[in-house]
Amino acid sequence: MFRVLVAEPDEKSFEQVRTYLPADSYQLSRAKESEACLNWLGQNPADAVLVSLDFPGGGAGAMLRRILAEALEVPVVVLGQPGQEAECRRIVLEGASDLVLKEPQHLQLLDLILRRAINFHRLPRQWADSEQKYRTLFHHSPDGLLLLDGQGVVHDANRAAEEIFGIPRQRLFGRPLHELLPEEAELRHLVGNLSALPDLRIQTLSLRRGQDTLWLEVHLSEMKADLQGQYILSLRDVTQAKRAQAELAASEAHYRDIFENLGTMILVLDVSGRIMDANRWVESWTGWPRDKIRTLNLFQIVCDQGLGAWLESQIRQAEDEGLTRGRQQILVGGRNLMIGYHATPVFQEDRLTGYRVAFRDITRQTELEQKQEELRLELLEKSRLASMGHLLQGVAHNLNNPVTILQSTLEWIRTAAPEEVNLTEELGVLSDQVRRIREVVANMLEKGRREALRQVVRLDLNRILQEELKFLQANPFFKHEVKLETQLLPLPPILGIYSDFSQSFGNLLNNALDAMFDSPVKRLKVFTACRQRDLVIEFQDTGHGIAREALPRIFDPFFSTKPNVSVDGRPAGTGLGLHSCRMLLDPYGVKFEVESQPGTGSTFRLRVPIQPARTVRALLVEGDADYRLGLHAGLRAFNVAVTAAASAEEALKLEDHFDAYLVAVVLPGMSGFDYVAELRRAQPEAKVIFLTGTEPVQVEARAKALQVNLVLYKPVTFRELAQAIALLDTSGSPVASSG
């Protein structure tokens, strides 16, 4: 008695099947949907499953796949309608045992087909396993597989082969493969007469399919034993790999072209510094062939010139931060050259394998920069002298009055009769005029002394403005014709060089006066205020204004809206005043805003930053816990992210590099001086601020020897420290470079 599960939702079809199977030989059960079918098979032994092609849940093919997936060892016979034969055959090729169509002449064979399927299934398990493995490997192989006879006729093909050729499998069966391929196809000539060919090693052949060209790895081998005279043709689609290989070759050629023709000298080093490759610009620059360059070790060359410590710091920075850049003077071919470089580490699978170094000979550029700096200083000096000359004219005017009074009084005393002279009164007059002269001279000497002292000190910008306005009292035009309005709100002190700000403020005030020379309304407003991020200094005049087209050029050297030579007493200009303002204040990160309306006047607004423009990472090395905690929290509001260490020893254990180092001179254990000495060995370019309450004479000399950027004396406010850090972070500022 055979137990057969009929997976058939249609009652009429189920009864039709029952009529064609002897009741004494078959015990039939019925399942109407896939889950019921699988549950039944999981709980009951079955000799066969008869599955309707249109069975719910994806049809017989889906049911077959689920049975195979569940490893239910039972033969499956597909039951289809007339006209569904091709679909049934497809499922048979996928692993079904056989098929039956729902028409009398086929159903009469149902008993025979089921018995054959059941008996076939009951063959020795080894044969069944081998057959199933063959079918699975053959039909599910990602490579295209075809079974051919000696004349190239297709006896079997898997789905991958169908996809490669773009030909349905039923069209492949029983036909010579070469007849199905285009005339020009390389594969066509290969499979025309297989019996005349030995085993074919793997070849890569092209196959045109529509508008596309496929690349196939082809392998042909003859079957053995019972299948002798038949061949397995294996086809692997390597089109994507071929394209990737072509793209890789093109990419390599592209980047090699960039490597050779970028215009920058490039070296590729291994981890020891040995030069593995160099581009043609290196050859041209050194005059050496590439083979000779590849025998050199760059690290050894640099160390031989006494730059070992610098090299170690650059390697460490490249590995920690992903790149290092800068400039360094080295000896090349007996010449001292300044080199600008950019180096990055090379990793393969997270393992450091070497470095890429791009560099340029910037010796000439450096010389030009030095000359440019000399010219800049010369222009600043000319501007300072011009301002001083302007100021001296007013001073001379101020001195002229008391000198005239002195002369007149002395002449009166000398010529008048003794009884006419009240000597006590006249001596008082003389004393007053001498005092006025001494005040003018003392103010001039103090201004000259402070401007000559090029030293970073605490500055009160309001006081500097007041002093410049006081000096303007020596200008008769300002004193008698201009209405001055000031609103100087409290400003925190900043760090800077006195003359940078005094000279700039003086230039801006003089420009404002010149602009109002012939204006009907002469009013000068000076305004200051403190904002969160910056200090604002504003100069507003009611002069002739600046034309819109001239605004972009007003800071250019030698550009002026005033005539070069004074005519009819009108002010003349050299075009250096505003340019020198920008040169003096750019190193502080000062932003200039200019608003002007011809015929109405101009406003020059300066924004002096008092905190970093970006988030700066600072390491605070401070032994006092309260002070450390206060700075850590307080600086956060000023765009400074602080990492704190309680001692030099703790700080040295940190592997991170910071934008700024805030170091107390007095520390528990190792002193701040010794810590900075260690830091300099590891990071020569580190930017350091000393924080100390010690007398300057005890700190300044050692700080200078250690190339400390700045020394601040406690107590220090958060805002003052934030502005100092902003200066460190501003290129070209008075404290940005060590020393």
Whether residue 392 sits in one domain with residue 345: no
For position 621, which CATH number holds? 3.40.50.2300
Whether residue 585 sits in one domain with residue 474: yes
Whether residue 116 sits in one domain with residue 64: yes
Label residue 603 exposed, middle or buried (CB < 10 Å: 0-12, 13-18, 19+). Answer: middle
Whether residue 338 sits in one domain with residue 398: no
Cα separation, 385 vs 380, whole angstroms? 9
Output 424 or 572, whichever has higher pLDDT.
424
**Residue 436 — pLDDT band, cuts 50, 70, 90?**
low
Sheet holding 483-488, edge to edge: 483-488, 523-530, 534-540, 601-609, 591-597
Note the pLDDT tens digit of each residue in 21-36: 998 989 999 988 888 8
The pLDDT value recorded for residue 404 is: 66
Residue 156 pLDDT > 60: yes
Across the range 137-165, mean pLDDT stands at 85
Output 122 or 38, whichever has higher pLDDT.
38
Angle between helices 59-69 and 34-43 (to 10 degrees): 30
Whether residue 279 sits in one domain with residue 238: no
Note the pLDDT tens digit of each residue in 514-552: 899 889 999 999 999 999 899 999 999 999 999 888 888
Q: Considering the domain boundaries, does residue 40 fall inside one?
A: yes
Residue 128 pLDDT > 60: no
SS3 2: strand
Across the range 237-243, mean pLDDT stands at 86
Q: Considering the domain boundaries, does residue 256 fall inside one?
A: no
Residue 348 pLDDT > 70: yes
Q: Considering the domain boundaries, does residue 366 fall inside one?
A: no
Whether residue 710 sits in one domain with residue 654: yes
Contacts 24+ apart (CB under 8 A), 548-551: 551/594, 551/596
The pLDDT value recorded for residue 700 is: 83
Q: Considering the domain boundaries, does residue 255 fall inside one?
A: no
Residue 126 pLDDT > 70: no
Asked if residue 609 lies in contact with residue 639, where contact means CB atoms within 8 angstroms, the answer is: no
Output 401 or 281, whichever has higher pLDDT.
281
Residue 293 pLDDT > 60: yes
Residue 146 pLDDT > 80: yes
For position 454, which CATH number holds? 3.30.565.10
For position 335, which CATH number holds? 3.30.450.20
Give me the sign of the Cα torsion angle 51, 57, 62, 65.
Answer: negative
Across the range 194-213, mean pLDDT stands at 72
Note the pLDDT tens digit of each residue in 629-680: 999 889 998 999 999 999 999 999 987 889 999 999 999 999 999 999 999 8
Q: Considering the domain boundaries, does residue 23 fall inside one?
A: yes
The pLDDT value recorded for residue 369 is: 73
Strands 144-149 and 98-101: unpaired
The pLDDT value recorded for residue 421 is: 64
Whether residue 529 sits in one domain with residue 413: yes
Consecutive H or E run containing 354: strand 351-361
Q: Considering the domain boundaries, does residue 317 fall inside one?
A: yes
The pLDDT value recorded for residue 328 is: 84
Give the C-alpha distances (Å, rounded to integers) separating 574 from 559, 563, 580. 8, 8, 11
Whether residue 308 sits in one domain with residue 185: no
Across the range 214-235, mean pLDDT stands at 79
Q: Considering the domain boundaries, does residue 735 fall inside one?
A: no
SS3 106: helix
The pLDDT value recorded for residue 594 is: 94
Residue 443 pLDDT > 80: no
Share of the chain above pLDDT 70, in %: 84
Whether residue 489 sits in one domain with residue 560: yes
Whether residue 379 sits in one domain with residue 356: no
What is the helix, strand, coil percentage profile of the chain, to 5?
A: 45, 25, 30
Give me the sign of the Cα torsion angle 443, 445, 450, 452.
Answer: positive
The pLDDT value recorded for residue 646 is: 93
**Residue 339 — pLDDT band, cuts 50, 70, 90?**
confident
**Domain end position, chosen among 314, 341, 361:** 361
DSSP symbols for 564-579 = SS--TT-----S-HHH
Please compute Rg for the chain using Cα positions: 48
Across the range 231-248, mean pLDDT stands at 85
**Residue 596 — pLDDT band, cuts 50, 70, 90?**
very high
Whether residue 154 sits in one domain with residue 117: no
- 3 DSSP 8-state letter: E
The pLDDT value recorded for residue 397 is: 55
The pLDDT value recorded for residue 209 is: 78
Strands 483-488 and 351-361: unpaired
Across the range 40-58, mean pLDDT stands at 87
Across the range 200-210, mean pLDDT stands at 75
Give me the sign of the Cα torsion angle 281, 286, 288, 291.
Answer: negative
Give the C-alpha distances (Å, rounded to integers) separating 635 from 264, 615, 700, 721. 42, 11, 25, 8
Domain that includes residue 233, residue range? 141-243
Label residue 261 exposed, middle or buried (CB < 10 Å: 0-12, 13-18, 19+). Answer: exposed
Across the range 185-199, mean pLDDT stands at 69
The pLDDT value recorded for residue 454 is: 63
Label residue 471 exposed, middle or buried (CB < 10 Å: 0-12, 13-18, 19+). Answer: buried
Structural domains counted in the chain:
5
Whether residue 438 sits in one domain with residue 472: yes
Cα separation, 546 vs 601, whole angstroms? 8
Across the range 348-354, mean pLDDT stands at 87
Q: Considering the domain boundaries, does residue 249 fall inside one?
A: no
Give me the sign of the Cα torsion angle 19, 7, 42, 49.
Answer: positive
**Residue 556 — pLDDT band, cuts 50, 70, 90?**
confident
Residue 64 pLDDT > 70: yes
Consecutive H or E run containing 268: strand 265-270
Output 391 or 43, whichever has higher pLDDT.
43
Note the pLDDT tens digit of each residue in 365-418: 877 777 766 766 666 566 556 555 555 555 555 566 666 666 766 776 777 777
Output 174 or 574, whichever has higher pLDDT.
174
